């Protein structure tokens, strides 16, 4: 079912435990520690990273990638698809494929979102920001009202839902190989 890697802190009372997914129990009780994991993921294996205080950087993932944190930025470079969510930090995601199922969400509160997708993208796009701009390299057929801070529309023939949301930061949706700007 996968491999789970955790830092287990000493506890006062109920022991901390490492469990897959969102399971487990971690009470740090003022343990001032810093842990950095460097993990190599075999080709074809999906990567999911979760932390509370710290960023997640995953590059060269030869499959799908997903990252969740509260305080830290996220950088994902995957041959497959990528999903990311944080509160305090930006998101940079390079996707090698655009054939995801369900909604593909990239969400933060304090930080920008920079997404690189392959040419030929077809998606229904929902993008919103409160303090920032939205830019795209892809031709977008807008549905409803046009706004600097909220866009709903279709790229290509649509079909898959791409949601990008931030409060304090801009959103960029770029074509693979295009220069940032």
pLDDT tens across 32-65, in order?
777 888 989 999 999 999 888 889 999 999 999 9
12 has pLDDT over 90:
no
Tokens of 110: 């304090």
Report which of 59, 55, 125 is spatially closest to residue 96, judged by C-alpha positions.
59
State the pLDDT at residue 67.
96
Owner of token pair 């892809």: 138
| Mean per-residue pLDDT, 54-78 | 95
% of the chain surpassing 70 pLDDT: 93
Query: pLDDT of 116-170, one tens digit each?
Result: 999 999 999 999 999 999 999 999 999 888 788 999 999 999 999 999 999 999 9
State the pLDDT at residue 181.
60
Residue 174 CA to residue 172 CA, distance in Å, equals: 6
Residues 6+ apart with CB under 8 A from 113: 90, 91, 93, 106, 164, 165, 166, 169, 170, 171, 172
Q: Residue 105: pLDDT band by 50, 70, 90 thresholds? A: very high
């Amino acid at each position: 079912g996968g491999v789970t890697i955790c830092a287990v802190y000493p506890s006062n009372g109920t022991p901390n435990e490492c469990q897959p997914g969102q399971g487990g129990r971690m009470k740090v009780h003022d343990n001032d520690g810093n842990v950095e994991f460097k993990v190599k993921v075999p080709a074809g294996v999906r990567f999911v990273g979760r932390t509370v205080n710290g960023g997640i950087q995953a590059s060269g993932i030869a499959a799908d990638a997903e990252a969740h944190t509260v305080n830290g930025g996220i950088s994902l470079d995957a041959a497959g698809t990528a999903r990311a969510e944080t509160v305090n930090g930006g998101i940079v995601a390079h996707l090698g494929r655009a054939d995801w199922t369900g909604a593909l969400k990239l969400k933060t509160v304090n930080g920008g979102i920079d997404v690189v997708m392959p040419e030929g993208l077809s998606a229904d796009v929902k993008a919103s920001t409160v303090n920032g701009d939205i830019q795209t390299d892809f031709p977008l057929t807008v549905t409803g009202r046009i706004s600097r801070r909220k866009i709903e529309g279709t790229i290509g023939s649509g079909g898959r839902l791409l949601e990008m949301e931030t409060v304090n930061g801009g959103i960029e949706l770029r074509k693979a190989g295009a220069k940032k700007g």
